[in-house]
Structure 1
Amino acid sequence: MTLMTRRRSLLRAGAFGLAGLGLPEFPAWAQSGSPGLRPDSPILAGEDIRLRIAHDLFKVGGRSGHAITINGVLPAPLIRLREGQNARLHVENALDEDTSIHWHGLILPFHMDGVPGISFPGIKPGTTFTYEFPVEQAGTYWYHSHSGLQEQMGHYGPLVIDPEGAEPAPYDREHVIVLSDWTFRHPHQLIARLKSKGGYFNRQKQTASDGGMSAAERAMWGKMRMDPSDIADVTGSTYVYLVNGHGPAENWTGLFKPGERVRLRIINASAMTIFNLRIPGLPMTVVMADGQPVRPVETDEFQISVAETYDVIVTPTADRAYTLVAESIDRSGMARATLTPRLGMTAPVPVLRKRPTLSMRDMGMDMGSDDSCTPEHAKMGHCTPGAPAAAMDHSMRDRSLVPPAVKVGVGVDMIAPMPADRTGDRPLGLENEPHRVLTYHDLAPLVPFPDERPPARSIDIHLTGNMERFMWSFDGRKMNEGAKPIRFELNERVRVNLINNSMMNHPIHIHGHFFELVTGKDHGHPVKHTVNVMPGGKASFDLTADAPGDWAFHCHLLYHMHAGMMNVVKVRPMKEGDAK
């Protein structure tokens, strides 16, 4: 039996963990009545695939709520394609509203990308739309709605593409791990609450009795009208965090045999939640990021931002269970699963770690490790050399900080004075962990990016917002409210500098393209379609605009995109005199 044949056999027997092993009993989650992914869930493959989007009920933790599902399950079914095939996906809309499917990370003709108003008109109620495109890549991806807030309600699912040739990271068994967040509230209720009060869902606000912050520091944050505990817009106070549609108490379980190389295809399909993921006692070797092979790198924990995917290999040798822990970035809750050689075995579930807080570095005000006045800040008149650094005016009151490209208005309440490249920083809350923590700088492509040309030009895009009023934008301009499309000439090589002028993380995604994330490392730049830009930081990527058409470009935090942090990238052959 070849590796590919064996892998298919294992996959069809139990890609989600349990079938085909001759075991009659199932864990609690398999008997819960939840329409999540199950051992007997069909895998959709072949030339013609049919999907039906409909209203449904979703049950988790003993409660039921309204959902939007595909083929009756949440997450949607696993779609399995092969590099080099032609895909035809027939999507029936059984809803009473328009819908769509975007094939996240796939290279395809722009009119098959699935973004209403940009690349196609959407799928009307009671109609069927057929997506058809050649499959030109391999790896781990996913698919989801790009209509309204349907993604939050369950309209998302995993997509795996097998390589046409040899597998660059061989394995004996695999599990697809779809992380997501679920709320019994309607998404528009969440938006209304966030609009009424930016920190509405933050139940972990800083108090006077909290340790680790002096009275002077608390006064400084108060003066700036900022909350150092404001890390996630929507938190565990309303969210249940899911693995393959199952909550922590239901304990989704994946099986292995000791000594096997187990591939975990991890997808963050959340609407708003960034996760820190680890498997205590079991090192992980990262072999793929955003569907693109990377040089294997071993780590103990990594952050997976919204819309990113990471493939890791684990090799459990002991006859014991392991807990997969995905903590929300603000540590208000976790998703939890178990890897085990036999059903019924569990491992200890770690308690949530201490809630992190933002620092001056997260406001683009890095004053050095000793909080002294740096020459750069002194030159800007923000402090006196030799004296402790005072709080700077980060707000729009200091108009000298506003870049010319940024539109000043009520939608921009903060400009980071000195944003720094943070792609090599450990994520928030993981700075002092004693174990290994992955950063973007650890990632190197297995195969170099095909375009080795240096960028012909550079553009800056500022990530802007008003946190208290929950307004989000690029360069101070919301989508459809004065934002001009970003224009690239067909096949031009351009460097894009993302500058985060807010205190929130923003996972920025471009459709129809991959880019090289500029890390300054000589081992090569990782190839990705989504990059998380840390608070008060910046990240740069080099893009080859080789896909003609109109493409969405946005923050993948669903409510940030909905609130305006989105634009259109137009890729065209340019004639003489055309303005970019």
Structure 2
Amino acid sequence: MPEITRRRLITSTAALAAVTSLPMPGWAKGRSLTHAKRGFGEYSGEDIELSIGDHHFSTGGRSGHAFAVNGTVPGPLIRLKEGQDVRLHVTNNLEEDSSIHWHGLLLPFQFDGVPGVSFPGIKPGQRFTYEFPIRQNGTYWWHSHSGLQEQAGHYGPIIIESAEPDPRYDRDYVVLLSEFTPMHPHAIMRKLKVGEHYFQRQMQTANEGEMSGEMRRMWGQMRMNPRDISDVTGSTYTFLINGHGPADNLELEFKPGERVRLRIINGSAMTFFNVRIPGVPMTVIQTDGQDVDEVEIDEFQIGVAETYDVIVTPPDGSHALVAEAMDRSGMGVASLTSHKGHIATPPPLRKIPTLTMTDMGMMDHAAMGHDMGSMEGGMDHSMRDASKLPDDVTVGPGLDMVAPMPMDRMGFPGLGLDTVDHRVLRYTDLKAKRMNPHREVDREMEIHLTGNMERYMWSFDGKKFSAVTDNPIRFGYDERVRVKLVNQTMMSHPIHLHGHFFEMVNGADHMHQPLKHTMVVQPGSTATFDLTANEPGDWAFHCHLLYHMHAGMMQVVTVRPFPEGAGA
């Protein structure tokens, strides 16, 4: 009998789906569906029941199909306590496989919830029990890792209370950012494959005066647009806070003088958000569930799948809590108010940001006043010079750009926030509150983030996930590895490693490098982390932009002792 490898399992499943006439789900046949509630309930204890089902969802002027858990979008808040054991019983009432991944939680890999990597998935009608001890505290979230279900409502928040009381705040709110679209997720994927600009309504035209004629010709020569910032935009998305669109007038109440902890989770499929409360400073106390030294700011950018906890002490009145999409195509809004029924007026959308040569991985000669005319002709070649790549990067149709001079941009606050006149969080501001054990690095490695935006192909090292699943990234148990990520594309990628926290190499001393599970790598740049691979098993490693992951920007990390003499 031939060996059943992970590659064979995945490709066989894909082939079966391609040739089999699968039954059309009930919701697609026009069957009447229950309306999912906006917002979420709360569950706690050692045994928690979760049920995944087809529902209808609406907010503002948009309505459509959703995958709801326990009848709500987002699904329920799961509140746990550090040191307890939990059993999460998940029933799949869909007509397709499903799953739940516990994002950021430290657990045995077989309960991590990634079909094809750590377990088979949950079949229609099946009930699966996740069982593991709670080894941490902080703000996390959960979501489907099956197909594109996460886009359609299959996600929710997790709060793990510390074993010791936290005296820093008087009131506590989850602020879960996401999107809703009535368009089916697979229809979105098809449209992106046909034309990556499909959802763009803000592309820069040839007559706009912000760019010289030389620069316009250069961008055109490279078949790129300086406003190609977000693949999917407010043209089809309604941006949500706790399942509520801007028209729903969500209120978060407080009493004057209270210290309010906001646990901000980016549970979106594709959207980076710029978060602010105009006139109210925020003090960052945690990121990705891990405590950091306090930093007072006025705004921060949160990548997909990141979390930030902030404390605010708002004055009496109503204040707009704003999550503005990075491409300024819309915003999520709630009112932080001491007067029930008083709705704060949000600020207008700001000017659309524009990509620069720095986002191509080049020095911005125009910003330095250099003549651009002499660079024409050579620029296109420079952006596609594959000789700059290591031998282990596959060069082919899936790799359409090479950043000529990628630099570390840990100090960059995020597109559109580098020119504002107030305090904006940067990765370089973050320091771990507790000291990390100091260890020298055993080895170093590079991973290249690669893609072809025009064909909507995404990968690591030029290899799509389906082509490399029998050749994972291998770490020895307890090995200390410095991983340098090199972004060869003009898009920001939030890179997530399952089952571990890594230390961002952000300029902090070795003992206070901040711990993260998800890190944004800016366009045309590098970002580095130190990992102590001390959680054995097979773990997913991927871009958390859902359609990038679905198109191939994913790998498997295997942590186990290496065979005798095999090395790394």
Q: TM-score, normalised by structure 2?
A: 0.91
Query: Could you tell me which residue of structure 2 aligns to residue 547 of structure 1?
Result: 535
Per-residue deviation at 1:215?
Answer: 1.1
2:349 to 349, 352, 361: 352
Tell me if structure 1 keeps the 8 A contact 2:383–2:403: no
- Report the CA distance shift for 1:42/1:238 in structure 2 as closer, same or farther (over 3 A): closer
1:284 aligns with 2:282: yes
1:464 aligns with 2:463: no
Segments of 4+ in structure 1 off by > 2 A?
367-373, 387-403, 521-524
Query: Could you tell me which residue of structure 2 aligns to residue 121 of structure 1?
Result: 120
- Report the CA distance shift for 1:50/1:270 in structure 2 as closer, same or farther (over 3 A): same
Q: State the distance in 1 between where 2:216 and 2:417 align.
A: 22
Query: Could you tell me which residue of structure 2 aligns to residue 98 of structure 1?
Result: 97
Per-residue deviation at 1:499?
Answer: 0.4
Paired amino acid for 1:334:
M
1:564 aligns with 2:544: no
Query: Could you tell me which residue of structure 1 aligns to residue 7 of structure 2?
Result: none
Query: Could you tell me which residue of structure 2 aligns to residue 315 of structure 1?
Result: 313
Tell me if structure 1 keeps the 8 A contact 2:80–2:159: yes
Query: Could you tell me which residue of structure 1 aligns to residue 326 of structure 2?
Result: 329
SS in 2 for 1:480: helix
1:237 aligns with 2:224: no
Per-residue deviation at 1:370?
Answer: 4.5
Tell me if structure 1 keeps the 8 A contact 2:356–2:364: no
Q: State the distance in 2 between where 1:330 and 1:307 align.
A: 18
2:214 to 194, 213, 216: 216
Paired amino acid for 2:203:
K
Tell me if structure 2 keeps the 8 A contact 1:224–1:394: no
Tell me if structure 2 keeps the 8 A contact 1:372–1:389: no
Tell me if structure 1 keeps the 8 A contact 2:465–2:554: yes
Q: Mind listing any 5+ residue stretches in structure 1 that lack a counterpart? A: 1-32, 374-382
SS in 1 for 2:118: coil
1:526 to 514, 535, 538: 514
Query: Could you tell me which residue of structure 2 aligns to residue 6 of structure 1?
Result: none
Post-superposition Cα deviations, 1:65-102, rounded to whole Å, max 9, x if no partner, equal 10001000000010000000001000001011110000
Q: Mind listing any 5+ residue stretches in structure 2 that lack a counterpart? A: 1-34
Q: State the distance in 1 between where 2:432 and 2:290 align.
A: 8
Taking the TM superposition and a 5 Å limit, the aligned residue runs for 1:158-169 are 158-167=157-166
1:392 to 366, 372, 379: 379
Taking the TM superposition and a 5 Å limit, the aligned residue runs for 1:49-60 are 49-60=48-59
The more displaced of 345-354 and 102-111 is: 345-354
Tell me if structure 1 keeps the 8 A contact 2:43–2:78: yes
Q: State the distance in 2 between where 1:253 and 1:412 align.
A: 46
RMSD: 1.7
1:415 to 381, 402, 407: 402
Tell me if structure 1 keeps the 8 A contact 2:82–2:136: yes
- Report the CA distance shift for 1:508/1:95 in structure 2 as closer, same or farther (over 3 A): same
SS in 1 for 2:279: coil
SS in 2 for 1:393: helix
Per-residue deviation at 1:160?
Answer: 0.2
Q: State the distance in 2 between where 1:205 and 1:370 align.
A: 21
Q: State the distance in 1 between where 2:542 and 2:381 align.
A: 24
Paired amino acid for 1:442:
D
Paired amino acid for 1:252:
L
Q: State the distance in 2 between where 1:211 and 1:327 align.
A: 25
Query: Could you tell me which residue of structure 2 aligns to residue 27 of structure 1?
Result: none
The more displaced of 131-140 and 523-532 is: 523-532
Tell me if structure 1 keeps the 8 A contact 2:395–2:462: yes
Q: State the distance in 1 between where 2:328 and 2:78 align.
A: 32
- Report the CA distance shift for 1:446/1:566 in structure 2 as closer, same or farther (over 3 A): same
SS in 1 for 2:475: strand
Tell me if structure 2 keeps the 8 A contact 1:396–1:412: no
Tell me if structure 2 keeps the 8 A contact 1:485–1:569: yes
Q: State the distance in 2 between where 1:174 and 1:398 align.
A: 51
Post-superposition Cα deviations, 1:556-579, rounded to whole Å, max 9, x if no partner, equal 000000000000000011233114
Tell me if structure 2 keeps the 8 A contact 1:367–1:389: no
Query: Could you tell me which residue of structure 1 aligns to residue 412 of structure 2?
Result: 425
Per-residue deviation at 1:34?
Answer: 6.0
- Report the CA distance shift for 1:84/1:394 in structure 2 as closer, same or farther (over 3 A): farther
Q: State the distance in 2 between where 1:388 and 1:141 align.
A: 50
Tell me if structure 2 keeps the 8 A contact 1:455–1:494: yes
The more displaced of 187-196 and 338-347 is: 338-347
- Report the CA distance shift for 1:394/1:84 in structure 2 as closer, same or farther (over 3 A): farther
Per-residue deviation at 1:420?
Answer: 0.5
Paired amino acid for 2:355:
L
Query: Could you tell me which residue of structure 2 aligns to residue 401 of structure 1?
Result: 388
Taking the TM superposition and a 5 Å limit, the aligned residue runs for 1:508-523 are 508-522=495-509
Q: State the distance in 1 between where 2:318 and 2:392 align.
A: 54
Query: Could you tell me which residue of structure 1 aligns to residue 523 of structure 2?
Result: 535
1:145 aligns with 2:133: no
Paired amino acid for 1:536:
G
Query: Could you tell me which residue of structure 2 aligns to residue 66 of structure 1?
Result: 65
Paired amino acid for 2:37:
P
Per-residue deviation at 1:59?
Answer: 1.2
Question: Kindly, what percent of the aligned residue pairs are identical?
Answer: 60
Query: Could you tell me which residue of structure 2 aligns to residue 29 of structure 1?
Result: none
Per-residue deviation at 1:201?
Answer: 0.7
Tell me if structure 1 keeps the 8 A contact 2:36–2:68: no
SS in 2 for 1:481: helix
Paired amino acid for 1:92:
T
Paired amino acid for 2:56:
L
Q: State the distance in 1 between where 2:421 and 2:368 align.
A: 24
Per-residue deviation at 1:368?
Answer: 5.8
- Report the CA distance shift for 1:44/1:502 in structure 2 as closer, same or farther (over 3 A): same
SS in 2 for 1:164: coil
Tell me if structure 1 keeps the 8 A contact 2:283–2:294: yes
Q: State the distance in 2 between where 1:233 and 1:397 align.
A: 22
Q: State the distance in 1 between where 2:368 and 2:392 align.
A: 30
Paired amino acid for 2:344:
A
Per-residue deviation at 1:226?
Answer: 1.0
Q: State the distance in 2 between where 1:210 and 1:367 align.
A: 19
Tell me if structure 2 keeps the 8 A contact 1:394–1:414: no
Per-residue deviation at 1:372?
Answer: 6.5
Q: State the distance in 2 between where 1:481 and 1:34 align.
A: 38
Per-residue deviation at 1:389?
Answer: 5.4
Q: State the distance in 2 between where 1:306 and 1:207 align.
A: 29
1:187 aligns with 2:185: yes
Paired amino acid for 2:556:
V
- Report the CA distance shift for 1:272/1:546 in structure 2 as closer, same or farther (over 3 A): same
Q: State the distance in 2 between where 1:191 and 1:211 align.
A: 33
Tell me if structure 2 keeps the 8 A contact 1:478–1:564: yes
Q: State the distance in 2 between where 1:194 and 1:183 align.
A: 15
Q: State the distance in 2 between where 1:132 and 1:398 align.
A: 49
SS in 2 for 1:174: strand
1:338 aligns with 2:325: no
Post-superposition Cα deviations, 1:157-212, rounded to whole Å, max 9, x if no partner, equal 00000011232x62100110110011110001000000001111111111123232
Query: Could you tell me which residue of structure 2 aligns to residue 35 of structure 1?
Result: 37
SS in 2 for 1:129: strand
